[in-house]
Amino acid sequence: MNDDKTQPQDDAAVAEELKGVPEDLLEKPGDEAARLREELEAAKQDVLYAKAETQNVRRRMEKDIADTRAYAATGFARDILSVSDNLSRALEAISAELREDERVKSFIAGIEATSREIDKVFAAHGITRIASTGLPLDPNQHQAMLEIPSAEAEPGTVLQELQAGYMIKDRLLRPAMVAVAKKPD
């Protein structure tokens, strides 16, 4: 018993039914496989790009976290530099006679110990003083405040440090304020 609905139609009947359908909508069986392969390759590329972008984002986040940890004390360090500067000025202002006076020796020793402790804390956190005097002016680390005529020093050489400069690891915390040699008039 053959049912007409289950019998395959002949090619002429199929062609007659598809007469009004535009050609670009009709695909041949081989075209369908090629199209699916192209879609698969495009999907694979999209997955690879997404993985690469995810890795890049992860690396950037890890670097940001490491930088945040390394430089978290930057604001505090800038603020504490003025305390260090004031301690240094206080020690420089003490005359030789006053240093010999028995009544203030322990007071001076306390100021010196505090200064050493600040230097130790700076070193523990990667804060270092910038070398200046006798070196050529480095605009990345020094800020020239004035020029001094000098026949002995090469022009552009730092003659005097007016205020110490500091680095925190590999970043500038505060430039050294310096006086620079220039050719005499």
Scan for tokens 């206080």, then name that residue. 90
Question: Binning pLDDT at 50, 70 and 90, where does residue 8 land?
Answer: low
Nearest to 164, CA basis, from 122, 133, 126: 133
Topology classification of domain 128-185: Nucleotide Exchange Factor Grpe; Chain A, domain 2 (2.30.22)
Can you give the residue ranges of every domain in the chain? Answer: 128-185
**pLDDT confidence of residue 42:** 94
**pLDDT confidence of residue 113:** 95
Q: Which long-range contacts (CB under 8 A, 24 or more apart) does 43-46 make?
A: none
Of all residues in the chain, the percent with pLDDT exceeding 90 is 61
**Which pLDDT tens digit goes with each residue over 14-39?**
666 666 666 655 556 668 888 889 99
Q: Which long-range contacts (CB under 8 A, 24 or more apart) does 120-126 make?
A: 122/77, 122/84, 122/166, 125/73, 125/77, 125/168, 126/70, 126/168, 126/169
d(CA 146, CA 161): 11
**Which pLDDT tens digit goes with each residue over 93-124?**
999 899 888 889 899 999 999 999 999 999 99
* pTM, entire model: 0.65
**pLDDT confidence of residue 23:** 63
**Which pLDDT tens digit goes with each residue over 114-166?**
999 999 999 999 999 999 999 999 999 999 999 999 989 899 999 999 999 99
**Which pLDDT tens digit goes with each residue over 64-91?**
998 888 888 888 899 999 999 999 999 9
**pLDDT confidence of residue 1:** 47
**pLDDT confidence of residue 27:** 57
d(CA 80, CA 14): 89
**pLDDT confidence of residue 25:** 57
**pLDDT confidence of residue 184:** 87
Is the pLDDT at 180 greater than 70? The verdict is yes
